[in-house]
Structure 1
Amino acid sequence: MSDSPAIGEPRRRGLLIILSSPSGAGKSTLSRRMLEADPEVRFSVSATTRPPRPGEQDGQDYFFKSRREFEAMAAAGEMLEHAEVFGNLYGTPRAPVEAAIMRGEDVLFDVDWQGGQQIRNSTLSDSVVSIFILPPSIAELENRLRTRGQDSAEVVANRMAKSRDEISHWAEYDYVLVNKTLSECEAQLRAIIEAERLRRERRPELMQLVNRMNREFEERTP
């Protein structure tokens, strides 16, 4: 019997990569760079009850659901995490994520601490790698929010008010990175992912390799 993986069988189980941070700390930029640079990472597509915006496609940008459909999925345990934001429901369907990690793909979640907590407490917790991104200082966080020019002064103030609560959950994560410079933080993030992929329990082919080597030892015995 061959010890090699069957054709099409993944050589490792995929990761559930959770990235969280206060707004402005660099989470979205780091997520985008990882997706562009690493073909083994795919972004988690969320479900939502809000209507599609122009150009958005069902199953690509979001899974668009009615409130009744969404609530039925949540009640049946078909959501890894979900929450209501500004009157609309958002969540992560379980089935596509489970299928991806069984194929050996890594699934990236750009979520807040509440979403991350729900995923860590789910039945897929063994596959989770959670990473929190901190700014180097509160002054720098506010500066980044202001200089990116995407939000009004009122929105920036609201984001800053919320950031203290978000940062208070930093110790719940497996890894915490300080985003002093984007290039340095990206390198650290990639190092974490590579190391997690090499963990013994994520690599079933190692048992096959050791079994083969044991047989080689037996064959060498006089």
Structure 2
Amino acid sequence: METIGRRGLMLVLSSPSGAGKTTIARRVLDEDEGVAASISHTTREQRPGEVDGQDYHFVDKKAFSRMREQGAFLEWAVVFDNYYGTTRDPVEQALGSGQDVLFDVDWQGADALRKSARNDVVSVFVLPPTADALEQRLKTRAQDSAAVVVRRMRGASNEIQHWKDYDYVLVNFDVDQSVAAVHAILAAERLRRTRLTGLNEFVEGLLSQL
């Protein structure tokens, strides 16, 4: 009897900075062994506590440009004067083996992924409950200067305007509920007919027995 397998999917999470997508992403990665993180290359400075090769691959702009010219990136974007990009080969290998890959990207990255691999993408946009809550989160995480916080708040409006481009939208009132929602989305999308490999052969074999 034919075996039914599954091609992996790209779980794309986006939000304005500070809305909670990175917290949700980390929880999903911790709680679901079937999901692996896509580790982007970036030219931004490494923040305290971040590990090169685990949080990001930190490179300079010259190295990033060379990789871009060689066609190494599945998607790339410029965010607050820094470059971010996802390398193609590791993602393709993971999807082919049935592994799901999580992307923590902005709307530009999400749009590029849709254009390059629409059938593999499941996109989720995370909204903050209020603008005040968003600003407070940016201030309390203490990773950016006051000037950067102001800049990120201004950028939030542009990011949020792209919410209709996503398959799913979550308002992050409660992190536990948001994480549960992402798990539910994953459970449903993993059963999507077009993602199942060997299903046609299975059905044909089943019909031949009737």
* TM-score scaled by length of structure 1: 0.83
**Relative to structure 1, is the Cα distance of residues 52 and 25 closer, same or farther in structure 2, using a 3 angstrom cutoff?**
closer
Shift of 1:86: 5.8
Per mean C-alpha deviation after superposition, the further-off stretch among 88-97 and 184-193 is 88-97
Shift of 1:85: 4.8
Stretches of structure 2 that go unaligned for 5 or more consecutive residues are: none
Task: Name the counterpart of 1:112.
Answer: 106
User: What SS does structure 1 have at the residue aligned with 2:6?
Assistant: coil
Stretches of structure 1 that go unaligned for 5 or more consecutive residues are: 6-10, 218-222
Alignment-mate amino acid for residue 206 of structure 1: L
Per-residue Cα deviation, 1:157-177 (whole angstroms, up to 9, x for no partner): 222111111111111111111
**Relative to structure 1, is the Cα distance of residues 209 and 98 closer, same or farther in structure 2, using a 3 angstrom cutoff?**
same
Per mean C-alpha deviation after superposition, the further-off stretch among 206-215 and 149-158 is 149-158
Task: Name the counterpart of 1:77.
Answer: 71
* 1:214 and 2:197 are equivalent in the alignment: no
* 1:27 and 2:27 are equivalent in the alignment: no
RMSD: 2.4
Matches within 5 A, 1:194-205: 194-205=187-198
Task: Name the counterpart of 1:45.
Answer: 39
* TM-score scaled by length of structure 2: 0.87
**Identity percentage over the alignment?**
50
Alignment-mate amino acid for residue 34 of structure 1: V
Q: Which has the higher contact order (CA 8 A, sep 6+)?
A: 2
Task: Name the counterpart of 1:135.
Answer: 128
Question: 1:52 and 1:27 mapped to 2: Cα distance?
Answer: 19
Shift of 1:125: 1.7
**Relative to structure 1, is the Cα distance of residues 180 and 67 closer, same or farther in structure 2, using a 3 angstrom cutoff?**
closer
Question: 1:85 and 1:165 mapped to 2: Cα distance?
Answer: 12
Bigger Rg, which one: 1
Shift of 1:93: 0.7
Give the number of equivalent residue pairs. 209
Alignment-mate amino acid for residue 183 of structure 2: R
Per-residue Cα deviation, 1:58-105 (whole angstroms, up to 9, x for no partner): x54444556455334323432111134566532111111111100111
Shift of 1:212: 2.3
User: What SS does structure 1 have at the residue aligned with 2:209?
Assistant: helix
Per-residue Cα deviation, 1:23-81 (whole angstroms, up to 9, x for no partner): 12110100000000000101111123568789844x54444556455334323432111
**Relative to structure 1, is the Cα distance of residues 51 and 166 closer, same or farther in structure 2, using a 3 angstrom cutoff?**
closer
Per-residue Cα deviation, 1:95-132 (whole angstroms, up to 9, x for no partner): 1111110011111110111111111111x221001110
